Chain A
Amino acid sequence: MSSGGFPWLTLVVFLPLLGVAAIFLVEEALVKWVALGVSSLVFLVSLPLWVLFDKSTPAMQFVETHQWIASPSINYAVGVDGISLPLVLLTTLLTPLCVLISWTAIETRVREFMVSLLVMETATIGVFAALDFVLFYVFWETMLIPMYLLIGIWGGPNRVYAAIKFFLYTLAGSVLLLVAIIVLYFYAGKESFDILTLSDAEYPAWLQALLFWAFFAAFAVKVPMFPFHTWLPDAHVEAPTAGSVMLASVLLKLGAYGFLRFSLPMLPDATQQFTPVVLLLSVVAIIYGAYMAFAQADLKKLIAYSSVSHMGFVTLGIFVLNAQGIEGAILQMVNHGITTGALFLCVGIVYERTHSREIADNSGLAATMPVYASFLVIFALSSVGLPGMNSFVGEFFVLLGAFLWSKAVATAAALGVILAAAYILWMLQRVIYGTPAQHVTSKLYDMNWREIGTLAPLAFFVFWIGLYPKPLLDVMHASVDHLVHKQAKAMVVDAGPPVSPQVIAANPSSPETGDTKADTR
């Protein structure tokens, strides 16, 4: 392993908790500075993961394994591969920005706020890094409490409803996940909760089908996929800006990550079998989310529905089961984290001035806030998927992958891109160039350096990934290839060589995905 023995990953996971301890010790005035310092330090400490990462292997890297419970064998095991590394870095990048954007927006109980934020960071990085299924579940559930508090304490007028809705939806979704984990343990018969060991075991088809839906319930709620998305608009609208950013940029990724890490490799046959259903739901989410976004007068709600649409691209890319689709999906996850996070930050900035999220109250900002307008245009266009910006690359790959699976699906999904252009540009037209709302103009002033500092790093990534995505793609190639290869192998076993015409008829995806995954790169 390239870790050189130094426990970088453990440091990244638990440094935020040390920060929590520090926050409890310092006086009120220093809390923000400590939170900013610690979260920035976590970002710096996570950079060696990127630098030392060996791009040539799909194996887990920076692996650390320590026994946690002897019987049944549960380990503290962490490691990253090309799929989880980008998401870990996304989390460490966004947390300091969340601290920055809350600098003046959060006035009450600052200490508790920062503690919740840092506990969230530990839990989310832990989810991405966990190599033991029970450890994964522990982090996965732990995250609910700080998020519940973030929405419920510092949120908008209807925050209590939104917080409990968020909590119960996600908790109910995860109920079956724990049973599925235990069932996997006994069926694999390896006396281990190790994720890689469990991925290597074979499970009978009927069991795979049951487990697939148990996993699906947990992950689809988190993504959220249509029709489990109804908690999202409520949670986003009521959450404070930092909460919305964490929710959109990091929490939604956990569901998609779950599909990639568990559903695909552990249940390849069931994945094959139910792909059409998931793809249908993804396409519905893409179009329905976009359609709903049109109708919103509230900026946060508009972005929330656009999230549903964009995350539809992610699940679409994952379940077309080819390298293009999956790489596109991971890119889209990172891009959505950057772009949507930035858009929520933008709404937060203007909300701090006008105390309204209505488009009508925030129109014609270009005159009074030119710098802000420039940033908003950048991120809005990124969200549309303008070539040269980050989302374009991800959506392009996803559509390419979808096209290989079925032309109809790709066409339907492409409709979502057009709709996105329409609702985003319409929003821009009103917010930036509309007639200024008289009653709020006096409250407007342009962004200060802190706010520019919050948005500038994200703008940088928008263009970097848009113009030169190669470094990011290189990181994921080996891992995605490994994943696709495993899927293809499952297909071959399904079909049985030589592939008979009946099987092709029953499963039109098999020959295409099998062939194209290797040569189109």
Chain B
Amino acid sequence: MMIPLADLVTILPELIVVSVACLLLVLDPITPSNKKDLLAWMSVATLGVCFMVTAGSMGDRVYAFSDLVVVDEYASFWKLLLYVVSGMTILLSIGYLKEERIDLAEFYGFVLLSLTGMMIMVSGADLLVIYLGIELMSISLYIMAGFKRFEAKSIESSAKYFILGAFSSGLLLYGISLIFGAAGSTRLVEIAAAVDARGLDDSMILIALMLVIVGFGFKVAAVPFHMWTPDVYQGAPTSVTAFMAVASKAASFGAFLRVMLEGFGGMKPNWSGLILGVCILTLILGNLVAIVQTNVKRMLAYSSIAHAGYALIGLVVAGWVGTESGVPAKGVSSMMLYLAVYSFMTLGAFSIVAILRRGGEEGEDLGDFTGLAKRHKGAAFLMLLFMVSLAGIPPTAGFIGKFYLFMAAVNAGLTWLAVVGLIFAAVSAFYYLRVVMVMYMREPSPDQEGETRLALSPTATVVLALAVAGVVLFGLYPWPLVSLTATAALP
């Protein structure tokens, strides 16, 4: 059987990324060790090419492979974001992997493989295709989490991630099998048709819906499915943590939203209340537990849980019934905007953690940040910006993200949810500002002087510059991003 050429063209970016990923795995052993950087640059160049291909082909909805894959503006938006985030991860890793003495070029291959999985997730129009994307992403991430293979913490992180990830994949797959039993297909359009026909009466579909929500809840790290997050984030190499916290979360949200709206759009009353509950639990637990953390990486892990809670507000709005037309789309676009903004500030914060070294190790403890403003003014100031943005204080992008989310919530009649979100934003200011306080208001203790240093490679500088540009520019002039998310949102 011939595969139609048009279908291959539709998934051209995926093909490019996966081919280069395989090529990297082949080239790695035959590249002399002093030339390994070339492979990293090759991956970055690939991402640049894909960025242009995707950006250039943005437009109408195109289905491929008999409706298994869909490419629309929604999918393209996520892909563009994922290219940027993956590129920044690779650039950050070039220096970081050398510092950690784990500079194998395989790493970049895994980043690209994982990226392929994510691209398939956001483009999948069939639950099984989405599942395949999730698995490709997750398995690559399991390996990357254990990349510091001489460190127990990293291996523990990898093992925990693998076990819990496999468990959640199993639940998701179980849900998919039930759906197949009820609808006779795993395609989103046909699921939607079956749901419309007899959704509420069919308990099999209801159970399947819950299992799908649990499965995605794991992937986006929403409470109560978040247990794996702190340990995995803390133990994994920092550039991998950043990649997980940003890219895997964005892709999971992208797929989650499409499945809920295009597959289960007919049962919005059934899931929007459920997700509302998850959303509030996530906001409460993520923010409260982050307060007591003394390890910055772990604190950022809880912060990423809390931010998943904010993003879920967008999903709740998208599923809230009884609203005027156009309101659900505002929920979708505000969630996309929020995750884009979140990506820049979180990557920035993790980058600072990655380049701050203490002896041969990462300076990830709050104590390592003591008096940072005295020793490394620039790094401290950037961290200040990222923390302020994460807390959602203007004029940074974090404020814009929250503003649009709360606009969407109030518009849908969920004013009280906006109030809850803002109260926890004020709570979060406490732990974000503690980092600022430690950096600016504590004197470096004498025994620390000279011990912590910045491993600032030129590529890491580029990453920081991009992150800070995202945080500041989208804070001062958010319109390009706002209009992009408004047009790319699912109706």
Chain A interface residues (CB < 8 Å from chain B): 68-72, 109, 112, 134, 137-138, 141-142, 144-145, 148-149, 152-153, 159-160, 163-164, 167-168, 171-172, 175-176, 178-179, 182-183, 185-186
Report how far A149 CA is from B429 CA in the complex, Å: 14
Q: Contact between A178 and B406 (Cβ–Cβ < 8 Å)? A: yes
CB distance from A349 to the nearest CB of B (A): 25
Q: Contact between B406 and A179 (Cβ–Cβ < 8 Å)? A: yes
Q: Contact between A141 and B415 (Cβ–Cβ < 8 Å)? A: no
Which residues of the partner chain B approach A69 to less than 8 Å between Cβ atoms? 478-479, 482
Q: Contact between A138 and B423 (Cβ–Cβ < 8 Å)? A: no
Q: Contact between A179 and B440 (Cβ–Cβ < 8 Å)? A: no
Which residues of the partner chain B approach A112 to less than 8 Å between Cβ atoms? 373
Report how far A178 CA is from B482 CA in the complex, Å: 19
Which residues of the partner chain B approach A178 to less than 8 Å between Cβ atoms? 403, 406, 422
Q: Contact between A149 and B422 (Cβ–Cβ < 8 Å)? A: no
Which residues of the partner chain B approach A149 to less than 8 Å between Cβ atoms? 440
The chain A residue sitting closest to B374, CB to CB, is A109
Task: Determine the main DSSP class of B at the interface with A.
Answer: helix
Interface string of B134-159 (1 = CB under 8 A from A): 00000000000000000000000000
Report how far A68 CA is from B479 CA in the complex, Å: 8
Which residues of the partner chain A approach B104 to less than 8 Å between Cβ atoms? none
Which residues of the partner chain A approach B419 to less than 8 Å between Cβ atoms? 175-176, 179
Q: Contact between A141 and B433 (Cβ–Cβ < 8 Å)? A: no
Which residues of the partner chain A approach B478 to less than 8 Å between Cβ atoms? 69
Which residues of the partner chain B approach A70 to less than 8 Å between Cβ atoms? 479, 482-483
Q: Contact between A145 and B388 (Cβ–Cβ < 8 Å)? A: yes
Q: Contact between A138 and B395 (Cβ–Cβ < 8 Å)? A: yes
Q: Contact between B437 and A142 (Cβ–Cβ < 8 Å)? A: no
Does residue B425 face the partner (Cβ distance < 8 Å to A)? yes
Partner of B418, one of A144, A179, A185: A179
Q: Which of B378-424 contact A (CB under 8 A)?
A: 384, 388, 393-395, 399, 403, 406-407, 410-411, 415, 418-419, 422-423
The chain B residue sitting closest to A111, CB to CB, is B377
Q: Contact between A179 and B422 (Cβ–Cβ < 8 Å)? A: yes
Does residue B426 face the partner (Cβ distance < 8 Å to A)? yes
The chain B residue sitting closest to A140, CB to CB, is B394
Closest 6 pairs between A and B when the two form their complex, measured CB to CB = A138-B394, A175-B422, A152-B441, A182-B410, A172-B426, A141-B394
Report how far A159 CA is from B442 CA in the complex, Å: 11
Which residues of the partner chain A approach B425 to less than 8 Å between Cβ atoms? 175
Which residues of the partner chain A approach B442 to less than 8 Å between Cβ atoms? 160
Which residues of the partner chain B approach A175 to less than 8 Å between Cβ atoms? 419, 422-423, 425-426
Does residue B486 face the partner (Cβ distance < 8 Å to A)? yes
Report how far A141 CA is from B426 CA in the complex, Å: 12
CB distance from A167 to the nearest CB of B (A): 6
Report how far A152 CA is from B441 CA in the complex, Å: 6
Does residue B41 face the partner (Cβ distance < 8 Å to A)? no
Given contacts A145-B388, A175-B425, 5 further A-B contacts (CB under 8 A): A69-B482, A145-B384, A148-B433, A148-B436, A160-B437
CB distance from B472 to the nearest CB of A (A): 12
Q: List 5 A-B contacts (CB under 8 A).
A: A70-B482, A109-B373, A164-B437, A175-B423, A175-B425
Report how far A142 CA is from B411 CA in the complex, Å: 26
Most buried by A among B399, B433, B483: B433
Which residues of the partner chain B approach A71 to less than 8 Å between Cβ atoms? 482-483, 486
Known: A134-B403, A164-B430. A159 touches B415 (CB 8 A): no
Which residues of the partner chain A approach B433 to less than 8 Å between Cβ atoms? 148, 164, 167
Partner of B415, one of A72, A160, A183: A183
Q: Contact between A179 and B395 (Cβ–Cβ < 8 Å)? A: no
Partner of B441, one of A153, A176, A179, A183: A153
Report how far A484 CA is from B436 CA in the complex, Å: 45
Interface string of B427-470 (1 = CB under 8 A from A): 00110010011001110000000000000000000000000000
Report how far A112 CA is from B378 CA in the complex, Å: 12
Q: Contact between A144 and B410 (Cβ–Cβ < 8 Å)? A: no
Report how far A171 CA is from B418 CA in the complex, Å: 16
Partner of A176, one of B388, B403, B411, B422: B422
Which residues of the partner chain B approach A159 to less than 8 Å between Cβ atoms? 441
Q: Contact between B440 and A152 (Cβ–Cβ < 8 Å)? A: yes
CB distance from B387 to the nearest CB of A (A): 10
Partner of A168, one of B393, B422, B429: B429
CB distance from B444 to the nearest CB of A (A): 13
Report how far A144 CA is from B436 CA in the complex, Å: 13
Report how far A176 CA is from B419 CA in the complex, Å: 7
CB distance from A160 to the nearest CB of B (A): 5
Which residues of the partner chain B approach A137 to less than 8 Å between Cβ atoms? 394
Report how far A71 CA is from B482 CA in the complex, Å: 8
Q: Contact between A171 and B426 (Cβ–Cβ < 8 Å)? A: yes
CB distance from A21 to the nearest CB of B (A): 14
